[in-house]
Structure formats: C-alpha cells, structure tokens
Structure 1
Amino acid sequence: MKTFSTDDRESATIRSGISGLMHRREPSYIGHHRLVILSVYYIALVLLLSSNILGISGAFHHFFSVSNMLLLVTASVVMAAYLWRRIEIVTTLSLMTVATQLSLSADTLYSAFEPAMGHKYMVIIINMLLLSGNTIVGLSTYLTRITQVNTAIMFVTYTVCIITTNNSTLIDYYFMLFVVLVFFSFLGFHIAKNARRLQVENTELRRDESELMQILRLNKKQIRAYVRLASDRYGAEHTRNLLDILGETSQKNLLANVAEFMRISDTEKSRIDEIFPELTTSEKSICQLILRGKKLGDICSLLGKTESNVNTQRAHIRRKLGLATTDNLREALEERMTQASDR
C-alpha cells in the first residue's frame, strides 16, 4: 500500500511540474490550451512519420519516404525554434500544420498522377482523412486563417485528383466533401471569435479580481472565507475557523474599507438627494449607479429590477430632467452635479 502511495505522489509531482512549466511558458488559458495540443500533435506526427519511414505502417513508396523525412525535419526545426523562444506558439502551430498539409497534399497528388501506383484510390481516400484531421488541429487551436488555408489546400487537392483520375467513386463524394469543408471554415471563424471574446472577458475578470484583492488587502482564500461566512449560516466553531482564515489584520482592513465605502456612498446619496429633488428614491438609486459607470445589466442585478423596469425609470429621469432620447444620460447627470458643486 505504501509503494502505491509513493508512486501516486511521484506521479502527481511530475504532472504538477509539467503543468507548472507549461503555465510559465504560456500563462493565458488559450496559450496553455494551444501548447497542450502542440505537444500531443508533434509527438503523434513523429510517431506516424517514423513508422512510415521505417516501413512499419502506411503506404510504402520512395516518394512517400522522402516527403515524410522532409516533413519530420521541418516539424522538428519548427518545434526547436519554439522551444528556444525564436517563434511564438501561433507561428509554430501555423508552420507545422501548413507544412503537414502541403506534404500530405503532395503525397495525394503523386498517387493520382502516378499510373503505376497500386491501390491509388485507397491512398487518396486515406490521405483525405489525414488532411481532414490536420485541418481539425487548426480548428481546435482557434486559428481561423490557418483552418481556412488548410481547408483550401484540401479542396484543391481533391479537385485535382478527380480531374486527373476521373474516378466515379471520388466524384460521388465531391459535393459531400465541399459541404464539410465549408462547415470547417465557418466553424473555425465562429470558434476563434468566441475564443477572443472569452479571452477578453477572462482578462477583465482577472484585473477586477486583482483590484479587489488590492483594495481589500485580502488573498483569494480569505475572500472565499468571507463570502462563505456572509452567505451561509455556520455553527460557532465553523465561524471561528473562517475568521481565523481571514486573520485579525485582514478583518480590520476589510471593516475599514467597507466603512469607508458606506461613508462615500452615503455622501454621494445625500448630494443626489439635494441636486435632484424632483426624482423618486428609486430613480435616484439608478442615477447613483449610472454616475458610477454601471451598465444596464449591473443596475438590474444590484437593484433587483428587470430591464424593462429600469428602462422605464430611465425614461422618467430623462423626462424630468428635460433630456432628449439622444442625450447621454450619464454626461447630463455629471454636468448637473458639476454645476451644483460650482455654486
């Protein structure tokens, strides 16, 4: 039992070390994801190419052996350039997948043009599957342009094979392949667009998290403990444990920051009450949040109101302040607050 426990710890240590190394090299989520795909892709490429060069698996021909050797050298040089920090991961994946696509395309076209090639149609079909798999690598790493380039290479290759061989079986699958390739291109664009949006949102969340921890002078563990303490009911012992996680200094800092925020909020509310007496209490609360730069969704969440309710009250605010629908409400509120301060 002890031996298994030691092995498990060693395995966990190795995995943790590899994961830490990858995160240091590619700290962003998408970068880390691309690095994992690149590592697996390169290993698979080396194994497949080596097995064919050594005569273990695949279609055996002098042309294929030479092209596979060239691809193996190219992929290794590109990988070495990445490891030595000469090129970025996007460039690495782009060069490696396009080189693989061109090599497979050359093998496929050679099979179509070579009259003496045995089982040429099987070689063409299998290579088309490999071309599809290579295209998916670009798709899975959010590289829209590379996905479209590899898709175009695949389509041109199959078209030339049909024209050259005039084989009825290849012709029968032409339209099906065309639809699949169009779908690949669309999917690549859509996935990359969503990935960029998620990356931006993730960066903003990390920045907000960092600012929050800096303001409250708490770490993640302490913030989680405070949230649990505030949201649930615990026994005396559990409560003491959570407070211990916060620490005495952090508790004092947190209370001081909350007190300061409440003081500023009350002062702001008093000024709004004084400057906008014509507004209702609910409308003043909305104005306060608008002045803080809050968006519609944030206002609804903070006040517990629906979007239609908030929009209706915003319309009432505009009407009471004599604003047109084209006027910027926040700028109008800030201008009136400034004018009141100058008096």
Structure 2
Amino acid sequence: MSKLDALPISISGLTKSYGDIFALNHVDLEVRSGEFLTLLGPSGSGKTTLLMALAGFTRPDHGSIRFGEDEIVTMPPHKRGVGMVFQNYALFPHMSVAANVAYPLKLRKTPKAEADRLVEEALETVQLGGYGERRISQLSGGQKQRVALARAIVFSPRILLMDEPLSALDKNLREQMQIELRHLHEKLGMTTVYVTHDQREALTMSDRIAVINHGRLMQLDTPRQIYERPANRFIAEFIGESTFLKLERSGDRISFAGVELDVGEVPDGNELSLVVRPERLTILNGDDPGKTNIFPGTVRDLVYQGDTTLAYVTLADGTDIAVRAGMRSEAAIDTVSIGERVALGLKPADVVLIPGEEA
C-alpha cells in the first residue's frame, strides 16, 4: 500500500459526563496530520471515552471534533471514514481471513475484483500474504491482530484509531508488534490515535503523548519531554520510576536536608519537590564531582536484575531512594555493600522540579 493522505484532528472543549462524574472535562487537543499520537492514562482516565468520541460510538455532551475542516461530532460512525482496531480484535469467527478484511469494502459496495486486490494488498502489508483462506480459529493472537489491522486499513482511511490493540499479547510478541505498528505507520502515513495504559508502549511508539487523568489533558509533548520533564507528580509517578524529595526554598536558593542544590532555573511557588529517576543518579567513587549535587546516604539493599543492578539508599531525612546502573557501566554500584555510607550524585541538567502541592 502506498502512503495515504492524512487528516489533522481538532478537538475543542470536549465534555462527557455520567451523572456527577466527568469522563471528559473540557478537553482541547490538536492532532497533527500524519502524526502517531498516543492517549495514555490509567484505567478510568477518559482516554477510551475520547477515542470512542472520535470514532462516533460515544456522543459528547459538549464540544467540537473536526477532521480536517469538517465538523463530525454529530456524524454517525460509518460516515466518518476512520479505520478502527479494537482491543478484542472484533473479528467474525465464521468468516475467512479474506472475508473479514473485505468486510469494510463490502459495506462500501466495492466491486469484487477491486475488493480482492485491496484485500490481498492489505494482507501483504501486515505480512499475512497467502493467509486469505484460513479460518480465524487457525490463527495465533499476533496473526489475529494483523487481520484486524488489515481490515482497518484496507479502504485507505485517512485516520486510524486503535484501542489497546496489543493488550492481549504476551510480552515478547507485544514488543515485536509495537515496532511493526510503528513501521507500518511510517509507511502509510495516516493520522493515528492510539490508546494504551502501558507507559513503555507509549514511549516506544509515539510522535507525541497526551497524558490524561480524571478526564483532563495533563500534558501533551514528545515521549522524551514527557519522561524527562513531567509537568506534575501524577505524570512523574505514572511514567517511569521516581522518588520525590521535598525541598526547602529561600528566595532562589533551593536546598534539601540543609544542603543547597544547583537546580538551574527555579519555578514559581514556595512548595517544590525534586523528581529523581533511578538511572539519573550515580554512586560517587571519590572523584571530584564538580557541580554535581550530592546526597549522602546508607545502602539499605542491593537487587540484581540481570541487565541492571538496583541499590536502595536511605538519605539523611529517612527517604529511601533507588539508584539503577547497567551491568556494563563503570558505576561504583558494583563495589558497594549493604550498610555502607555512600554519596549519590545528580547532575544539575537532570534536576526536575515540580510544585510541591501536587505531591
């Protein structure tokens, strides 16, 4: 299949409530043409409600949805021209693979010869060429997911919606399919909105991530910015591992446990917390640390995890903090023992401050 013309999506003031509970609370979101955007959040956050509103299966109470220049918020699902991949595949078990893939073309009354060509082309695109006559019951989970994807793209939609499509697969297959889906998106270029609660999946696949919680858009940015510069504590906790250190402020001077820190630009607010990722810390080995921020502590535990080692260190204020190092790194983590006093280093470039009232 060749690259498709993509459409941007514009969402404005989208609201959906069930009684006193807001599933969507005045969501504003722009999805760029040809972008792979992931809606990421915990169960009940509103991400699937937003996707269903785009698909037309949920009618919002208020707000606007535009595909390109067209307002579609009241348009029925079958007229929106979007491809949809569901969490449970939603395949017809009594039909062959080819018949399942051809179903959207049948609804559009595509001539048989053209439909046969498009079905075979779609199956080749998802690496299932020659599988057309097989029954759904003869397929593995990964193959079923590819059939569902072929059905979603067979009519060349300009927008593709995907609702946790890999959640039923085992870890290795899931990771393989993440890369395949990403490559397929690069090949076809359609605007893709993808729902998941798996933060690693979102980081792996997305051009940008929209983090949603309690029906609100919490942050919209690239995977790197979402991970390295989370906007608040919820995002820092939900994406990756973090420890939060409560800081003291005096003007532009920031300190922890009485020790002044080099933190760069200081945001507004007297209540601030420092977000610390385990892989950003190092155990200093006595060399001059330069401008590195230093946190003294005592090693409480060491955990070998194959590709990495974790050291759990208790700081001066009693906070337990994790330090992670790869097995082939030159970090001093391999030379320490439980009960040993150590100094942890955090470079100023790795400092992330968030408002303390959100802790």
Larger relative strand fraction: 2
Larger relative helix fraction: 1
Q: Which has the higher contact order (CA 8 A, sep 6+)?
A: 2
TM-score calculated relative to the size of structure 2: 0.28
TM-score calculated relative to the size of structure 1: 0.29
